[in-house]
Structures are given as C-alpha cells and as structure tokens.
Structure 1
C-alpha cells in the first residue's frame, strides 16, 4: 500500500494524550487508511505523520471526518534506511 507523509498545522498546542485515538482509528478504518506514526514539533503546533492509504484523497477524507488538518499530503516514493542493507 502506498505511503504518505502528512503535515498538520494546529492553531493551539497539540496534546497527544487528549486525542481520541479510538475515534481516529475508526474513521481511518472506514476511509481505508492506516496511521503508522507521527512526530510532533517542539512548539507542539505542527505534526508530521506517516500513513498508508490507497491515495491522498482517502487521507484528506479521513482527516476531514476526524476534524484534523491535513495541510500537506506528500506521497512517499521510496523509504531510505539509515544504512544500506547488508552492512
């Protein structure tokens, strides 16, 4: 399944502990997307998330239904490991 990086910008600081993880999972399941993980910026107003989805529209649909921003959705062409395989 294709991978996407999503940049989310928040007006207020994001507290990950206050997210409705179960609700987000249900919306994502219905839209056919899977949240892999996220990084939160130091000021807690921006996140970068890695998702699996059939296409960018599925991610935008899930984000809208979950009430989350999806300001930039970038398809990932290739995953580059920190060291070449076999080293």
Structure 2
C-alpha cells in the first residue's frame, strides 16, 4: 500500500489536549479513517503547533482527502513517499 506525507496548516494552532478528550478525538479520527481503508501512522507537529506532517497509508491521495473532509481536517499537500534510512547502507 502506498505511503504518504500529508502537510496540514492550522492558522490558530493545533489544539488536541493531552488528556482523555484528546485521546477520544484521535480515536474518532482513526475510526473514520479505518472505514475508508486509510491508516494514520504518526504525525510530527511544529513547535508553534501551526503545521503538522502526518504519515498515512492509503490506496490513493483521494482517499486521504475524503477522510480529511469527514474529520474536518485541512490538507495543504499530499506527497507519496518511501522510507530512506542511513542504516540501509551498512
């Protein structure tokens, strides 16, 4: 399955609390994604919390756009990626 890097912009900053409410919000996103065969692997959040860089597995970029709309999440860009690790060369 293809892997993608999704960049998202949050002008007011990402506001997911580090508590049960935040866990519930993330679980809800995972559930909506699963219904469309999309898997959120992990995300990186900028220090100012205005950008996220998320790693997803999905059959196509359009599947990611669809679940983003259902989850009320912005999508700035979607780029298909592969893993490059320095340890591959050892």
With the length of structure 2 as denominator, give the TM-score of the two structures.
0.86
1:73 corresponds to? 78
Give the corresponding residue for 2:6.
6
CA distances 1:25-68 after superposition (whole Å, capped 9, x unpaired) = 11101121000000000110000000000000000000000000
| Helix, strand or coil at the partner of 1:16 | coil
Q: What corresponds to 1:58 in structure 2?
A: 63
1:30 matched to 2:35? The reply is yes
> Matched residues in 2 for 1:82 and 1:5: separation?
19
In structure 1, runs of 5+ residues without a counterpart are: none
Shift in Å, 1:10: 0.5
SS of 1:68's partner is coil
Between the two proteins, the alignment pairs up a number of residues equal to: 85
Tell me, which stretches of 5 or more residues in structure 2 are unaligned?
A: none
